[in-house]
Every structure is written in structure tokens, then in C-alpha cells.
Structure 1
Amino acid sequence: MTESPATENLPDLPEVLAEIRDDFLALGEKDRLQLLLEFSRELPELPARYENAPGLLERVEECQSPVRAFAEVDDAGLVHLYATAPAEAPTTRGFASILAQGLDGLTPQQVLDVPDDYPTSLGLTHAVSPLRLRGMSGILGRAKRQVREQLAGA
């Protein structure tokens, strides 16, 4: 049974996240996994200020692989998610890449409004393990918490 929910029944998302979701849902299960692997090769590089201080990025404990992430609200009030994930963990790296690209440039409120179940909306529940999906949810949850903390400290 192929998983392909009608996109009109899905929650409103920021444009990039909606496009990513729709790209996944337009494919069959095997091709979705291939798309996830493509995303793994597109994880943005860390800015130099984080490259030399990886401890600034928080470990995502829900991920089996050593993933670190940090959501930053810049001076213009826009969010950027920075993440690292090993190349030998392409599924996890793909999820980190999706979120890094999908959350980049959003307002804090847009990030906070992303549904917690966004990872399951990609139609990968049969292609990857629940543990891996929980890892992506963990990255999203960390990003939201970090954004809230920065707003509270501002």
C-alpha cells in the first residue's frame, strides 16, 4: 500500500517546507528514499563561527547518529538552522538537510507553527524506521525550543 495523503488535507506550511513535502508525496516509496539521499548530499556547510566550535551546536539525542543542531535567530529576526550529521548516516543527514533548508529565512513564529508531525507528512513511514523519523522530529523540536529560548532572552 502506497502512502500518499492528499495535500489539500495537510496543514499550511511555509513555502519551502510545503514544496519539499509535495516533492516527496509525488513519488513512489522507493523514489522517496532516493530523494532523501539527495537531500543528504545538500546539507549546508556550517558557518565558520560554528565550524571551529562544534560544541555550540546541541546534540540531538533522539538521533542514533551523532547529529548536532542549532537554530539561530539573526539580527533581522529570521531563523537559520545549522546542523551536522555524518556522511555515513545519509537518512539522518537528509532529514537534517530538509529542516536546514526548509526553516532557513523563516520568522520565529513560522518555525514555531511548523507542525510537530511534519516528518511523517513526507510519506516515509514505510521507507525508514520509526526511530529515524523520531530523530527528525527531535531536530525540529530542538529548533523550536532554541527559537523560543532566544525570543525569551531578547
Structure 2
Amino acid sequence: MTTHVLPDSLAEIRDEFLELPEADRLQLLLEFSNDLPAVPARYDEHPELRERVAECQSPVYIIIDVDDEGMVAMHATAPKEAPTTRGFASILVQGITGLTSDAVLAIPDDFPQSIGLTRAVSPLRIAGMTGMLRRAKRQVAAKRAA
């Protein structure tokens, strides 16, 4: 049985949101949306490696890399016109990249509900972030098993 432990990288992001008054959390999410790292150019020729996140209304795609040491890198694309969704993708990319596959698989499934935005954004958007996390964990598990 996997113990669900929030890695430090995601705990720091969560705490950053929770330290702010609720009214200011959307601004922080917008800052994250502006900081979504670009997907490495090596994927430009391989759209088949991008997985669409169906739970998101906007076209969001994720790619997970797991290297030989089991270290994870997450990449995501989300349109600039969807800053909330893009912010959630950025939180996960920044929080997951650099973790071990075990650490990613141990991220609590309710992490998106824990960052203090459930009243600031629609449940549909939180469900989109939950879908991104679920897909990331599934891809990590599949790549680790391969």
C-alpha cells in the first residue's frame, strides 16, 4: 500500500497559496500560468507522445518522462487564453518535475483540493487539475513498468 505523502515541492506551492488571503490566490495562480515552462522542442515532431486531458475544457496536453534513475519530468501545454487551467498545469509541472517516480505516485489524489482554490474557481476547473494529476501518475506508473 502506497503511503500518500505530499512531496516538499508541492507542499511549498500549497503553503504559498494557503498563506495568502483567499482573494489573492487567483493572482498567484495567474503568476503560475505565466511561468508554465515550454515543452522541449524534441516533442514538436512527436504529437503522439502528448496525452490530451479530457477533463479540461481547454486543450491541455501532458507528457511525462521517466529517466533511467526513475526521475520524473512533466511537460504540459495549455492555451494562454485559459489562465486558470494553464496555472494548474504549471503548478503540477513545477511541483512534479525532479521528483522520483515513487514520490509522484504517492502524491495524494486530492492535492488539487488542498491548495485553497475550491471557492475561487469552479469545481470543473479543479476536476481538470485532478485529471492532469491522475494522468501524470498513470503515465509514471506505465513508464516505470515498461
TM-score, with length taken from structure 2: 0.94
1:99 and 2:102 correspond: no
Kept after mapping to 1: 8 A contact 2:51/2:61: yes
Identical-pair percentage? 64
Aligned pair partner of 2:40 in 19, 33, 47:
47
Greater RCO (Cα-Cα under 8 Å, separation 6 or more)? 2
Q: Could you list the per-position Cα deviations for residues 106-127 of structure 1 after superposition, in whole angstroms to 9, with x for gaps in the alignment?
A: 0101000000000010000110
Correspondence for 1:6? none
Write the letter of the residue equivalent to 1:51: D
Kept after mapping to 1: 8 A contact 2:5/2:108: no
Equivalent position SS for 1:20 = helix
- Consecutive unaligned residues in structure 2, runs of 5 or more: none
Correspondence for 2:19? 26
Q: Could you list the per-position Cα deviations for residues 76-113 of structure 1 after superposition, in whole angstroms to 9, with x for gaps in the alignment?
A: 32001110000000000000000000001101010000
Write the letter of the residue equivalent to 2:93: A
Equivalent position SS for 1:72 = strand
Root mean square deviation, CA, Å:
1.1
TM-score, with length taken from structure 1: 0.89
Aligned residues: 143
- Consecutive unaligned residues in structure 1, runs of 5 or more: 1-10
1:70 and 2:63 correspond: yes
- Displaced runs of 4 or more, over 4 A: none
Correspondence for 2:131? 138
1:16 and 2:9 correspond: yes
Equivalent position SS for 1:144 = helix
Write the letter of the residue equivalent to 1:21: R
